[in-house]
Amino acid sequence: MQGVPVAKEELIKNFNQKDMESIASSGMDLSESMRCASFLQQDNKVLLQRSLSDAVDILSTPQALKKFPRLKKYFGKSFKSLNRDYPKDTEGGYFIRVKKGRTVKLPIQACLFLKTKKFEQKVHNVIIVEEGARVYLITGCAASSVAHEGFHLGISEFFVQKGGYLNFTMVHSWREDVSVRPISIAMVEEGASFISNYVCLRPVREIIMYPTAVALGSGARVSFNSLILSHPSTLQDIGSRVIFKAKNAQAEIVARAVSLGGKVIARGHLKAEEQDVKAHLECRGLLLSKQGIIHAIPELETDFRDVDLSHEAAIGKISRDEIEYLCSRGFSQQEAQAIIIRGFMDIDILGLPQVLRKEIKELEDKTLKASL
């Protein structure tokens, strides 16, 4: 077991009811009844780090760098491999390691919570899934009702080693005056799989993110899936990129965006630096307000003929016929609109285990009910 155990009652005393609801809306389950490991950081203070499985190490990144000297070779490694710089002035974040050959059935959870007004939270996370290991990881980011004009910078490095499997779900639950800058790179080795699910349903000032996955080995598989609900006065510049550096690798990028009046820029980039790769990029948008904007920017890039890269994009509005049909079946116009949006933002595009599907569906239903 990693870290100092924290009694549930003692941890809960740190939060009022609104904070508890905000944390829960990001997918964090403080009861830990259906989780195998947990990490919770408030501003720059770690409140909880605990593993309930001997297959999982979970610590703050600064602690892990001291405890595991070999971690230093991973810290910043993915950025260096792509000749990219990254901010060095981080404080905190989490380190997660799943040991070689182990299958972890219950998800690991982590939450980064903003509590203080105008606080700038800057973290660096490192996740290592060793050879042949399999795990689900759900991370949440949230802000207190008093954390006005906050800022979050989250650097994340993922290393999925040979034959490993990582299903990673990020749930953003911010507030309308918070700015967010996630920066992440995943290195996916031979025969390994990296699935990234992103869900953002709450208001936020702006989110700018363009996570990258690198298929390093033959048989590597990558999947990016996004569900975005854009509220008025919101900017969400959200994309996904896959770079193929090995043959016989595959990838898929799927995005669903609904604008209630905000601006969404949905980017996607598939870059084949090797032959015999296959990938598809798909973006669909639904405009529910005249003030809303959805801008899809797909990119396909290769110097080889023996690749299969494709993309499709579609942006539109709810048809009047659909609304009228549902109203004729006894639903109000608001209820009809909600039904159509729920169908459009189908969580089936997310590669979620059963233990998480119900939780994400409940979060989606609550948010839509409050928004429409």
> pLDDT tens across 46-103, in order?
999 999 999 999 999 999 999 998 899 999 999 999 999 999 999 999 999 999 999 9
Residues 346 and 293 in one domain: no
Judge whether 86 lies within some domain. Answer: yes
Kindly report the backbone phi and psi dihedral angles of residue 342, in degrees, each rounded to the nearest multiple of 5, phi listed first.
-60, -40
Does 1 have pLDDT greater than 60? no
| pLDDT over threshold 50, residue 2 | no
Instruction: Say whether both 227 and 341 belong to one domain.
Output: no
Burial label for 136, CB within 10 Å (0-12, 13-18, 19+), is buried
Per-residue pLDDT tens digits for 187-231:
999 999 999 999 998 999 999 999 999 999 999 999 999 999 999
Query: pLDDT band for position 333 (50/70/90)?
Result: confident
Confidence label for 355 from pLDDT (cuts 50, 70 and 90): low
Q: How far apart are CA 150 and CA 152, in angstroms?
A: 7
The whole-angstrom separation of Cα 372 and Cα 253 is 28
Same-domain pairing of 315 and 177: yes
Domain assignment present for residue 3? The answer is no
Q: Based on the domain organization, do 202 and 338 belong to the same domain?
A: no
Based on the fold, state whether residues 239 and 346 are members of the same structural domain.
Answer: no
What's the confidence (pLDDT) of residue 3?
44
The residue out of 275, 295, 319 marking a domain boundary is 319
Cα gap 315→311, rounded to integer Å = 14
pLDDT at 344 over 70: yes
Q: What is the pLDDT of residue 324?
A: 86
Give dist(CA 143, CA 151) in Å, integer.
Answer: 10
Domain that holds residue 351: 320-372
Same domain, residue pair 115 and 223? yes
Report DSSP state, residue 22.
Answer: H
Q: Is residue 2 part of a domain?
A: no
Same domain, 199 and 332: no
Quick check: 351 pLDDT over 90? no
Question: Which residue among 319, 336, 356 closes a domain?
Answer: 319
Shared-domain flag, residues 368 and 236 = no
| Residue-level pLDDT at 370 | 65
**CA triplet 258, 261, 262: central angle to 5 degrees?**
75
Place of tokens 């792509």: 82
Residues 370 and 312 in one domain: no
**76 part of a folded domain:** yes
**Whether residue 332 sits in one domain with residue 366:** yes
Residue 172 has pLDDT above 70, yes or no: yes
Question: Residue range 256-277: average pLDDT?
Answer: 95
Per the prediction, the chain carries an average pLDDT of 91
Q: How many domains does the chain have?
A: 2
Q: Residue 1: inside a domain, yes or no?
A: no
Find where tokens 């990016």 sit. 224
Rounded average pLDDT over 338-366 = 74
Whole-angstrom distance, CA of residue 264 vs CA of residue 237: 6
Is residue 262 in some structural domain?
yes
| pLDDT score recorded for residue 150 | 97
Q: Are residues 101 and 250 in the same domain?
A: yes
Q: Cα–Cα distance between 80 and 111 in angstroms, integer?
A: 27
d(CA 354, CA 107) in angstroms, rounded, equals 11
Residue 158 lies in a domain: yes
The residue assigned the tokens 């077991």 is 1
Q: Average the pLDDT over 37-46 and give the result.
A: 95
CB atoms within 10 A of CB 115: 20
In a domain, 292, yes or no: yes
* Together in a domain, 306 and 328: no
